[in-house]
Amino acid sequence: MELGEFWMCFGVGFVGQLAVGYPAAIISVTLAQPSFLEYMGLLTTINGKPGLDGHANSLLGATNGLFQAGAFFGVLAGSYIMDKYGRKMAAIYSATLSIIGGVCLCAAQNITMFIVFRFFAGAGAFAFVALMPVYAAELAPPKLRGFFVGMNCLGIALGYALAAYMGLAFYYTKSPAAHWRAPLGLALIFPVAVLIVLLFVPESPRWLLMVGRVEEAREIVMKLHYNKNDADGQDARSEFYQMQKQIEHDQMVKPTWMEMFTRPSYRKRTILACGFAFIGQSTGILVINNYGPTIYAALGTTR
């Protein structure tokens, strides 16, 4: 594998998931910023001390609820787009929603505007979750496919860490607005970076085969899997042949969304995949991620 192809796969899998982890995690430090709560009119005086007013907890919960609702619809729409119009178009869709949501969150003038555009930010971020592992796997050579798919997890984790560090860094700025607007604005870097990466990354050859663009797929495979130790390109030809046969088989069985639940072999895979995802989310990770600083403050932890 040439160095250029390595960085293409790396960019798709790693940078794409930074666009997931950072916006998903930045809400925790935002909700803990007194300047954010004051600007949004969520503070009141309780026994002579500042505290959340009666509706604040419901509104703060809505900021997270709408993000997850957006994630649900973003994944469904993104999955449809990536199969109908291609992996690159799905990446553009995801980045566009992320940018719209990110800009409007950063510029939010009230809590209603903030809540509404959390939906768009969630749709864009989690559409990347559905897309980028597939895109990276379809571009990567067989021996490194697991590595590049694994980079997606690393990208999400690093995005979570960066959000925490940026929240801490801007806490010490003199401008109250910068305490929360600046970290939210930094989320725009990652979807823009994805759009830049797309300038150098080809369409998925597997998707091209799915829509009958065989010669385009062949050219991309020969370039992606070129090996200077294999001047005749036998490895690339073998990989392309396997892709063709797999696509032919998939189109012959004509899988549908309904068959995920009606065909026994598909149903088993669906239950396993959804079960693992459900168990992972049931650990309480989202509560810690979204409300961690708020929980620590309630427990008396100070800086």
Selection from 148-157, 215-224, 279-288 with the highest mean pLDDT: 215-224
297 and 261 in a single domain? The answer is yes
150 and 191 in a single domain? The answer is yes
Domain with residue 50: its CATH number is: 1.20.1250.20
168 and 189 in a single domain? The answer is yes
pLDDT tens string 20-38: 999 999 999 898 888 998 9
195 and 135 in a single domain? The answer is yes
Question: 257: which 2 tokens?
Answer: 């969304």
pLDDT band at 172 (very low <50, low <70, confident <90, very high): confident
**What number of CA atoms fall less than 13 Å from residue 6's CA on the CB side?**
6
Its domain, for residue 296, covers 256-303
Q: What is the pLDDT of residue 1?
A: 52
DSSP 174: S
pLDDT band at 10 (very low <50, low <70, confident <90, very high): confident
Overall average pLDDT of the 137-145 stretch: 82
197 and 130 in a single domain? The answer is yes
Boundary of a domain, candidates 174, 201, 228: 201
In contact, 170 and 30? CB cutoff 8 Å: no
In contact, 44 and 53? CB cutoff 8 Å: yes
The residue to which tokens 């797309």 are assigned: 198
Q: What is the CA radius of gyration of the chain?
A: 22
Q: What is the pLDDT of residue 50?
A: 67
Overall average pLDDT of the 293-300 stretch: 77
pLDDT for 303 beyond 70: no
76 and 49 in a single domain? The answer is yes
109 alpha carbon, distance to own chain's centre: 26
pLDDT for 195 beyond 90: yes
134 and 10 in a single domain? The answer is yes
pLDDT for 94 beyond 90: yes
pLDDT for 115 beyond 60: yes
CA dihedral 147, 198, 133, 292 (to 10 degrees): 100
2 and 139 in a single domain? The answer is yes
Mean pLDDT of the chain: 86
186 and 268 in a single domain? The answer is no
120 and 242 in a single domain? The answer is no
Q: What is the pLDDT of residue 300?
A: 73
pLDDT band at 260 (very low <50, low <70, confident <90, very high): confident
106 and 151 in a single domain? The answer is yes
Number of structural domains in the chain:
3
Q: What is the pLDDT of residue 230?
A: 65
51 and 162 in a single domain? The answer is yes
The torsion angles phi and psi of 43, rounded to 5 degrees, stand at -105, 150
